Amino acid sequence: MSEANAILRCAAVPEEAALQELQRRFSALLARGVVFRVELEPELIGGYVALVDGKRYDFSIAARLEQLRVALGGV
Amino acid sequence: MTGEEYMADFTSHLLEKVKGFTFETKTGDYGTVRSIMDDVVQIDGLAGSHYGELLAFAGGHFGLAMDLREDGVGAVMLSGSREITTGGLVCGTGHVADICVGDALCGRIIDPIGRPLDGRQLKASSFRPVESPAPSIMDRSPVDRPLQTGLLAIDSMIPIGRGQRELIIGDRQTGKTAIALAAMINQRGDENTYCVYCAIGQKGATVAQVAHTLREAGAMERTVIVAATADDRPTLQYLAPYAGCAIAEEFMHRGKDVLIVYDDLTKHAAAYRSMSLLLRRPSGREAYPGDVFYLHSRLLERAARLSDENGGGSITALPIVETMAGDISAYIPTNVISITDGQIFLEEELFHAGIRPAVNVGLSVSRVGRSAQRSAMKEVSGSLRLDLAQYRDTAIFAQFGADIDASTARLLRRGERLTQLLKQKQDAVLRLSQQVAVLLAFGQNLLRDIPPAEITELRGELLEYLQAHCEGTLHTIDATGALNSSDREMLIAYMKHFLAERVRAKRA
């Protein structure tokens, strides 16, 4: 099983255990080995964005706040 | 309500909204910037993107996917290309470029991606894709209602119908925009008609002047200006007419009539040529890409008159094309002439001779407008084109001092007066009834003794007199579009009386 090209963008450096857990979950999801290269991006505020083999999974606080901003647009 | 109570109320309302909200995990394709040159970005990845899809770049900037390849995507930037770096992330948004539409845009000046350019905030609630298919054949109705431009020379000889595409073509500085502006100004009293003016590659000062003219004339209320000026990137200039058309379509689908002006498509083609060359697409004649014809045909096909079952709205398009040294057989002019339903050809010589609008009647034509012309206008404008064309041909010979017979002299006299009668400033638009009255006076030969130099002034006085004495008749003509025999006789009698009075006053 080849290793995927994977980047993890986080607002702060993740704990090693959390990173291992994420890699395990993504490996299971994509049925191939995933080893993240971590990049820091403080604009995300919190959470993370995983970039794996041309797909983007956004679990960041910044994205959630943006969703909230759009939803509250009518207020 | 006190300030505290207001805050408490506001907070509870906000909490309620937030409580019911569920977050979605956003997933999608992404790519990385391989290179960026002259607003064209080559991207690795983004395998699942669609043609024309809006792509999000770092820093909140956007681009359009224009070239889809196996190993990546070629995109053009809509904003902020200086901030893009190689290796930067690009995400697909999953939707094509769209533009804000609706009543909130009336009286506003925006750019082709919906950013206001007039310094005021814009809050629009609905959007439409910039590119959308033209109405199908079954959804359309024949063009059978007129769109009055208020210009005597056009409404009488080259009539435009609602849903028609009428090209305005001529060299630079021949009054092309002035005709379009007059047509827009003339719609100010009609609450069912909206106007969209698309400035493509124009000077910023020109657009400001257009906005000023429309505002001064009181025609900005239901007008939207979409502007991509000469300093805007080619992508924005390319998008401008499609964005303007999307705004017009929103009104059309609500059953309204829309007049849209594309000023001008020559610059639009040039902007598309720049984009295509930078995207390394194969170039053809004059370095335009192969689809330059489709570029304009798909735009102009979106002008239509919808059937009554579809609301009966319409988009009338007045595309403008600039020629070089009067050459209408150049590439872009011939393309657009073949797509449109007629053209108004403006001539530099006429313009400099003071004949404005400088319409060359021989080369101008309206292919569908005649069937949309009101019966009153049809009745009084029957032989005008022939009269004027014959006059212009004969006048050239008469310049050489050749001996002319009595019938030719009569033709020349009539032609001179008609030429003067058709002169008109862009803001001095005339109502249908006023046009019918002056053409009736001409047709009845009532103006034969008036010196040509006095004709334009006399027209104003005559119309004032008629307004004072036969307001009801003029109103009937405007309302019904028809000229019955009793109204006709009445108008002739009043006009004869006015002219006789005028002669008497002059003698005294």
CA distance B380 to B418: 13
Inspect the interface and report whether the beta carbons of A75 and B17 lie closer than 8 Å. yes
Q: At B255, is the secondary structure helix, strand, or coil?
A: coil
Shortest CB distance from A54 goes to which of B24, B25, B47?
A: B47
Angle at which helix B471-480 crosses helix B432-443, to 10 degrees, equals 110
Chain A contact present for B58, CB below 8 A: no
User: Quick one: CA torsion of B242, B247, B251, B253, rounded to 10 degrees?
Assistant: 50
B335, two tokens: 């393309």
Q: Examine residue B323 and state whether it is found in any structural domain, yes or no.
A: yes
Asked if residue B231 and residue B297 are part of one domain, the reply reads yes
Burial B211-250 (b: 16+ CB within 10 A, else e): bebbeebebbebbbbbbbbeebbbbbbbbbbbbbbbbbbb
Q: How far is B26 from chain A, CA to nearest CA, in Å?
A: 5
Asked if residue B240 and residue B117 are part of one domain, the reply reads yes
Q: Where do we find the tokens 């995933």?
A: A34
Q: Examine residue B488 and state whether it is found in any structural domain, yes or no.
A: yes
Q: Examine residue B19 and state whether it is found in any structural domain, yes or no.
A: no
The residue range of the domain holding B87 is 30-96
CA distance A55 to B45: 9
Active site residues of B: 367
Asked if residue B328 and residue B212 are part of one domain, the reply reads yes
Write phi, then psi, for B53 (nearest 5 degrees): -70, 145
Shortest CB distance from A56 goes to which of B17, B21, B29?
A: B29
CA distance B143 to B303: 11
Find the CATH number of the domain harbouring B442.
1.20.150.20
Inspect the interface and report whether the beta carbons of A57 and B91 lie closer than 8 Å. no
Q: Quick one: closest CA in B to A9, which residue?
A: B89
Inspect the interface and report whether the beta carbons of A71 and B13 lie closer than 8 Å. no
Inspect the interface and report whether the beta carbons of B17 and A55 lie closer than 8 Å. no
Cβ proximity of B210 and B182 under 8 Å: no
Chain A contact present for B31, CB below 8 A: yes
Inspect the interface and report whether the beta carbons of B14 and A72 lie closer than 8 Å. yes
Asked if residue B361 and residue B215 are part of one domain, the reply reads yes
Asked if residue B105 and residue B84 are part of one domain, the reply reads no
Number of domains in chain B: 3
Collect all residues from A whose CB is shorter than 8 A from any CB in B.
51, 54-59, 63-64, 67-68, 71-72, 75
Q: At B412, is the secondary structure helix, strand, or coil?
A: helix
Shortest CB distance from B26 goes to which of A51, A58, A75?
A: A58
* Cβ contacts of B277-284, under 8 Å, gap ≥ 24: B278/B37, B278/B38, B278/B39, B278/B40, B278/B76, B278/B234, B279/B40, B279/B66, B279/B67, B279/B74, B279/B76, B280/B74, B281/B67
The residue ranking higher by pLDDT, A38 or B22, is A38
Residue at which a domain ends, from B354, B373, B392: B373
Beta strands B98-101; B126-129: pairing state: antiparallel
Count CB neighbours of A58 within 10 A.
23
Q: Examine residue B216 and state whether it is found in any structural domain, yes or no.
A: yes
What is the sign of the dihedral through the CA atoms of B423, B428, B432 and B437?
negative
Asked if residue B346 and residue B328 are part of one domain, the reply reads yes
Q: How far is B101 from chain A, CA to nearest CA, in Å?
A: 17
Which of A58, A61, A70 should be substituted to probe chain B, the one whose Cβ sees the most B Cβ atoms within 10 Å?
A58
Q: Quick one: closest CA in A to B43, which residue?
A: A54
State the pLDDT confidence band at A74, using cuts at 50, 70 and 90: very low
Which of B7, B22, B27, B93 should be substituted to probe chain A, the one whose Cβ sees the most A Cβ atoms within 10 Å?
B27
Asked if residue B319 and residue B264 are part of one domain, the reply reads yes
Count CB neighbours of B439 within 10 A.
23
Q: Examine residue B17 and state whether it is found in any structural domain, yes or no.
A: no
What is the sign of the dihedral through the CA atoms of B363, B364, B365 and B370?
negative
Dmax (CA) of chain B: 95
B500 residue type, one letter: A
* B28 interaction partners in chain A (CB closer than 8 Å): 55-56
Shortest CB distance from A72 goes to which of B17, B29, B30?
A: B17
Residue at which a domain ends, from B38, B63, B96: B96
CA distance B31 to B47: 8
Q: How far is B11 from chain A, CA to nearest CA, in Å?
A: 11
Question: DSSP assignment, residue A67?
Answer: H
Q: Which of B340, B317, B357 is nearest to B195 (CA)?
A: B317
Give burial (CB, 10 Å; 0-12/13-18/19+) of B470.
buried
Find the CATH number of the domain harbouring B50.
2.40.30.20
pLDDT in tens, chain B (508 residues): 788 888 888 888 888 878 878 888 878 889 999 999 888 999 998 988 999 899 999 888 999 999 999 889 999 999 887 889 998 889 988 888 999 999 999 999 999 999 999 999 998 889 999 999 999 999 999 999 999 999 999 999 999 999 999 999 999 999 999 999 999 999 999 999 999 999 999 999 999 999 999 999 999 999 999 999 999 999 999 999 999 999 999 999 999 999 999 999 999 999 999 999 999 899 999 999 999 999 999 999 999 999 999 999 999 999 999 999 999 999 999 999 999 999 999 999 999 999 999 999 989 999 988 889 999 999 999 889 988 988 988 888 887 766 788 889 999 999 999 999 999 988 899 999 999 999 999 999 999 999 999 999 999 999 999 999 999 999 999 999 999 999 999 999 999 999 999 999 988 8
CA distance A39 to A36: 9
Asked if residue B148 and residue B110 are part of one domain, the reply reads yes
Inspect the interface and report whether the beta carbons of B29 and A67 lie closer than 8 Å. no
Q: Examine residue B166 and state whether it is found in any structural domain, yes or no.
A: yes
ipTM score:
0.81
Q: Examine residue B48 and state whether it is found in any structural domain, yes or no.
A: yes
B59, two tokens: 């820093």
Inspect the interface and report whether the beta carbons of B30 and A72 lie closer than 8 Å. no
Q: Quick one: closest CA in A to B32, which residue?
A: A54
Asked if residue B455 and residue B342 are part of one domain, the reply reads no
Find the CATH number of the domain harbouring B183.
3.40.50.300
Inspect the interface and report whether the beta carbons of B30 and A55 lie closer than 8 Å. yes
B372, two tokens: 């949309």
Asked if residue B123 and residue B58 are part of one domain, the reply reads no
Q: At A39, is the secondary structure helix, strand, or coil?
A: strand
SS3 content of chain A, % helix, strand, coil (to 5): 45, 35, 25
Residue at which a domain ends, from B74, B96, B118: B96
Asked if residue B196 and residue B306 are part of one domain, the reply reads yes
Cβ proximity of B450 and B417 under 8 Å: yes
Shortest CB distance from A71 goes to which of B21, B30, B89?
A: B21
* A63 interaction partners in chain B (CB closer than 8 Å): 26
Asked if residue B191 and residue B339 are part of one domain, the reply reads yes
**Is the confidence at residue A27, as pLDDT, over 50?**
yes
Chain A contact present for B121, CB below 8 A: no
In sequence order, the 6+-apart residues with CB closer than 8 A to the CB of B171 are B322, B323, B324, B325, B326, B346, B347, B348
CA distance B462 to B434: 10
Write phi, then psi, for B209 (nearest 5 degrees): -65, -40
